Every structure is written in C-alpha cells, then in structure tokens.
Amino acid sequence: MSDTAIRPKEPAPRLSSLFSRAHVFATLMLGGGIALHAVETYITATLMPSVVRDIGGLPLFAWATTLYVAASVMGASFVAVRPEGVTLNHCYRLGAVLFGLGSLVCALAPAMEALLAGRAVQGLGAGLLVALGYSFIRFVYPERLWSVASTLYAAVWGVATFLGPTVGGVFAAGSAWREAFALLVPICALMAFAAPRLLPSGESERITTGAPLAQILLLLGAVLALSFAGSVEAAALRAGLAGAAVLAVAAMVTIERHAKARLLPAGTVSLSSPLARVYLIMLTVLVALASDIYIPYFLQELHGVRPLVSGYIVALLALGWTASAFLVAGLSGRRANRAILTGAGIEAVATALLAVTLARHNPSGGYGPVLAATALIFAMGFGVGLGWAHLVTHVLHLAPEGEKDKASAAITTMQALGSAFGAALAGVVANSAGLAAPGGVAGAETAAFWLYLLLSLPALAALMLALRLPETRGGTG
C-alpha cells in the first residue's frame, strides 16, 4: 500500500490558525488595514446625506466614491511597480500615512470640492493597504491558509458592518460629520508606526517591468469621463463622455496587450485566459454592488429612515458577504466554482428586485417595503461573499511565477475599478433618471428604479463568465 493511501486526511484549516503565535501580529496588522478601509466606507456612506445638507454638492454625490476608488487604483498599482528596495512593510506605512492625511483634509473641508480632494488622498492610502493585504498572504501564511486568510477579510468587513454605521450614524445625528473623519487620523498614525515592526519585509523575486503609466492614466480617464457624464445636463455631452470612457478602456487593453510595462500579469487581457475571467468576475460583481452608494439616500428620502438606521441597513450588505464567506470557506474544486456561479446569480436577482422594493415612495414609513429592501440588500452581499474568497484563491494559484505581486495587486485594482466604474455608472443612471432634476421624491423614485434595474446586468455578466472557470486545487468537491 502506498504512503498516499495510508496518509490521514489533513483537517480543514480554521480561522483560528491565523491567530497562532507565528501569525497573530501580522494578522492583526493586515486585518487592521482592511478594517480601516472597511469601517471608513460605512462611515462615509452614512455621513454623505448629512454632508450634502451641510456643505451642498448633491450633483457630486457619487464623486465621493468615484475619486476615492479611482485613486485607490493608483495606490494598488504602486505595490506591483514599486522601486527596488522599497519593501512591502514600508508601503504599508505609506498607505497609513496617506489615509490619515486624507481623513484630516475631509475633516477640515469647507466645501464639497475640498472634501473630494481629501477622499482622493484617502483612496491612495486605501489602495495600498488593501493590495498589501493580498500581497502579504503568501509571505505570512502557508498555502493551505490562503483561502482562510481571504475569508478573514470578509470577517473584518462584518465587524465594519457594525462599527462603521454606528460611528457614522452617531456623528451624522449630531451634525458632527467632521469629527467622524478626524477620528481616523490617530488610528492611522499608530498603524504607520507599527508597520515596519510587526510585518515582514515582504521581498521576493519579481519581474520588474516599470510603471504602466499609460494604462493607469487611460483607466483613470475612463472613470473620470464616466463620472463627468453623470454630472452634466446636456444629453449629447453625456453620451460623448460615456463614449470617451469606452474608447479609453479599449485603448488601455490594446496597449496592455503589447506593452513591456504591464498593469496586469501576462496574458490577462484575453478572455481565453482563466486568470482574465477571474478578474472580470471580480470587476463585474463589484460594478453591480456599487449601486449601494445611493441606498442611504433613497432610504432617507423615500422611506423616512433615520441616518443611523439607514447606515445599518446598507451595512447588512457586508454582513451578508461575511455570512456566506464563512459558509463556503472550506470548499474547493467544482463546489467552489458552483459557489461563485450561485453567488453571481443571487446578486443579479437581488439587485433587480430593489427596483421594485426600494424605488417606491413610502411616506408613512411602512415596514413592509423597508424590510423587503433590507432582505435584498443582505442578499446582494451574500451573493458576492459566496464566491469572493475562491476568486482570490484562483488568482494566487493561476498567477505566473515572478508576477505574484502584480497578480495580488491586480485583485485590488479590480476591486477599485469595479467600485469606481460602478459608482460612476450609478451617477450617470441616477442623474439621467432625475435624481437632481427634477429631484425631490419623484426624482429619487425614478432614479432608484432605473439604477437597480440596470446595475443588475453586470452581475448577470459575472454569472456567464463563471461558467468557464478552472477548478481550484484541493479536489473536485
């Protein structure tokens, strides 16, 4: 009998393994970086209605998210193309400093334009911190813990589900949104101090190709063009800007296919590449998910929900992500791929049904429509969480040797681009459907209907892409 036949089956790794003596400090730091980004996301989502009531700028509402995630693309890209000698732990320190500086600018902002500048600086820091979370996985943990470490990030988002809206809602109720941003500054300072002391350097052999500046600028140009399209009133100009965004993406793909300095790992601009399909699924599920940026506004304007309660309701999206991530953390092979496929389908259906439940005027504050919308918001996140950790594992396994850092950073790039394009597209749809003009209840109702109906389509695209995924290692399930 062979050794393989008599070897006992290795037990499935547990989340507690990440907190063993060998890993605990690195886990706390990496989880802290994700937590900083996640908690701030829900703080801002809860605060934005109060911000626009205080300093104005409703037509720029979506830009608070768009600029944040567009800047995070640049931050994430820096991890992969950083100069020789710049270690990952020093990148982490830079990310914490930038996040703190951006938070300070937001806290002091006299107008929406200044707040948007602060959000852009925050985004640079967030891009670094989130990308480093994935980049550090292979330095801190053995391979059998990679999927579990990805699940940890879902757990962190679950904690943010409660902390973010609580902090944001308390400060919004007291019209003290500036203090909510200022609260993040000392936390960032502590993390910047601890990073070089608690994290490994994170250096390994990698292929250095230079900075893919042309591709980054084209992608950012596409995001900004689409965002401007959501802010202008002239239909012809709006269509022209949307067309320019499409052309910029096409130009980026063309350059990436032939460039030596690449933004993505080799071969990932072709749908024949399994890694390309994994990245596209990540992108499209997050484009659909970005429709959540308007949920607090619609809840408050159409259903009379208080800021604190609306923050908790939108945070259920992250709670759904967390719950499903734990349910499927041990899956592999065909079962993991089925989880990805099922999750995309759930997200598509839930998003489309919000066009019926959330997009209706409920002046009496009846519980029925609010509870139905709440369940669907939870389902949106539940769908994404079913597949996300398995998508991350696919990337780590499929990445070419020498391009592991680039592949890991590209996870955050896809996250940022999905959120940026989703937020920009949401702005186009909402403003085109009457959010700002005619505005009011009628405008919000129409905008919500078209927003959730149309943004269910990217989740359907993810479902189609998931039909042709390779199996993850570990068996067929």
| Digit-coded pLDDT (tens) for 230-289 | 667 777 787 888 888 889 988 988 998 888 878 788 778 887 888 999 999 999 999 999
Instruction: State the pTM of this model.
Output: 0.75
Helix/strand/coil (H/E/C) assignment for every residue in 250-313? HHHHHHHHHCCCCCCCCCCCCCCCHHHHHHHHHHHHHHHHHHHHHHHHHHHHHHCCCHHHHHHH
Pick 336 or 474 by higher pLDDT. Answer: 336
Question: To the nearest whole number, what is the mean pLDDT of the chain?
Answer: 82
d(CA 290, CA 300): 18
What DSSP string runs through 2-19? -HHHHSPPPPPP-GGGGG
Cα atoms in the 13 Å half-sphere on the side-chain side of 144 = 6
Greatest mean pLDDT range, 135-149, 191-205, 430-444: 430-444
| Digit-coded pLDDT (tens) for 44-72 | 877 888 888 888 888 777 788 778 877 87
pLDDT confidence band for 473 (50 / 70 / 90):
low
Greatest mean pLDDT range, 195-204, 254-263, 369-378, 407-416: 369-378
| Angle (CA) 434 438 440, round 5° | 95
What DSSP string runs through 89-101? HHHHHHHHHHHHH
pLDDT confidence band for 144 (50 / 70 / 90):
confident
Specify whether the CB–CB gap between 137 and 163 falls below 8 A: no
CATH topology of domain 19-196+208-468: Growth Hormone; Chain: A; (1.20.1250)
Mean pLDDT of 121-143: 84
Residue partners of 439: CB distance under 8 A and separation at least 6:
58
Examine the pLDDT at 12 and tell me if it is beyond 50: yes
Radius of gyration, CA atoms only, the chain: 21
Instruction: Give me the pLDDT at residue 105, please.
Output: 94
Evaluated on CA atoms 182, 187, 190, 195, the torsion sign reads: negative
Instruction: Give me the pLDDT at residue 427, please.
Output: 82
State the chain's maximal CA–CA distance in angstroms. 77
Pick 344 or 262 by higher pLDDT. Answer: 344
Burial 299-326 (b: 16+ CB within 10 A, else e): bbbbbbbebbbbbbbbbbbbbbbbbbbe
Phi first, then psi: give them for residue 273, nearest 5 degrees: -85, 125
d(CA 130, CA 135): 9
How many residues belong to the chain? 477
Examine the pLDDT at 338 and tell me if it is beyond 90: yes
pLDDT confidence band for 142 (50 / 70 / 90):
confident
Cα atoms in the 13 Å half-sphere on the side-chain side of 13 = 21
Instruction: Give me the pLDDT at residue 452, please.
Output: 96
Cα atoms in the 13 Å half-sphere on the side-chain side of 159 = 13
d(CA 477, CA 472): 10
Examine the pLDDT at 183 and tell me if it is beyond 90: no
Instruction: Give me the pLDDT at residue 1, please.
Output: 43
Percent of the chain with pLDDT over 70: 91
Examine the pLDDT at 36 and tell me if it is beyond 70: yes
Write the CA distances from 170 to 31, 50, 148, integer angstroms: 24, 11, 33
| Digit-coded pLDDT (tens) for 390-415 | 898 888 888 887 777 778 778 877 87
Evaluated on CA atoms 386, 389, 392, 396, the torsion sign reads: negative
Closest CA to 414 of 382, 448, 384, 445: 384
Examine the pLDDT at 186 and tell me if it is beyond 90: yes
Examine the pLDDT at 195 and tell me if it is beyond 90: no
Mean pLDDT of 136-155: 76
> Which tokens is 56 given?
């104005």
d(CA 79, CA 127): 9
Examine the pLDDT at 350 and tell me if it is beyond 70: yes
Examine the pLDDT at 5 and tell me if it is beyond 50: no
| Angle (CA) 284 345 423, round 5° | 30
Pick 310 or 201 by higher pLDDT. Answer: 310
pLDDT confidence band for 475 (50 / 70 / 90):
very low
Examine the pLDDT at 7 and tell me if it is beyond 60: no
Instruction: Give me the pLDDT at residue 210, please.
Output: 65
Pick 157 or 326 by higher pLDDT. Answer: 326
Q: Where do the structural domains in the chain lie, given as residue ranges?
A: 19-196+208-468
> Which tokens is 45 given?
């989502």
Examine the pLDDT at 161 and tell me if it is beyond 70: no
Helices 404-432 and 235-258 sit at what angle, rounded to 10 degrees? 170
Pick 205 or 182 by higher pLDDT. Answer: 182
| Angle (CA) 18 37 57, round 5° | 165
Instruction: Give me the pLDDT at residue 384, please.
Output: 93
d(CA 276, CA 264): 9
pLDDT confidence band for 383 (50 / 70 / 90):
very high
Specify whether the CB–CB gap between 43 and 167 falls below 8 A: yes
Examine the pLDDT at 173 and tell me if it is beyond 60: yes
Closest CA to 105 of 113, 115, 97: 115
> Which tokens is 347 given?
């997200």
| Angle (CA) 222 210 224, round 5° | 10
Instruction: Give me the pLDDT at residue 476, please.
Output: 40
| Digit-coded pLDDT (tens) for 78-105 | 877 777 777 888 888 999 999 999 999 9
Specify whether the CB–CB gap between 297 and 50 falls below 8 A: no
Examine the pLDDT at 205 and tell me if it is beyond 60: no
Instruction: Give me the pLDDT at residue 208, please.
Output: 56
Mean pLDDT of 324-339: 85
Instruction: Give me the pLDDT at residue 331, please.
Output: 80
| Digit-coded pLDDT (tens) for 455-466 | 999 999 999 999
Examine the pLDDT at 3 and tell me if it is beyond 50: no
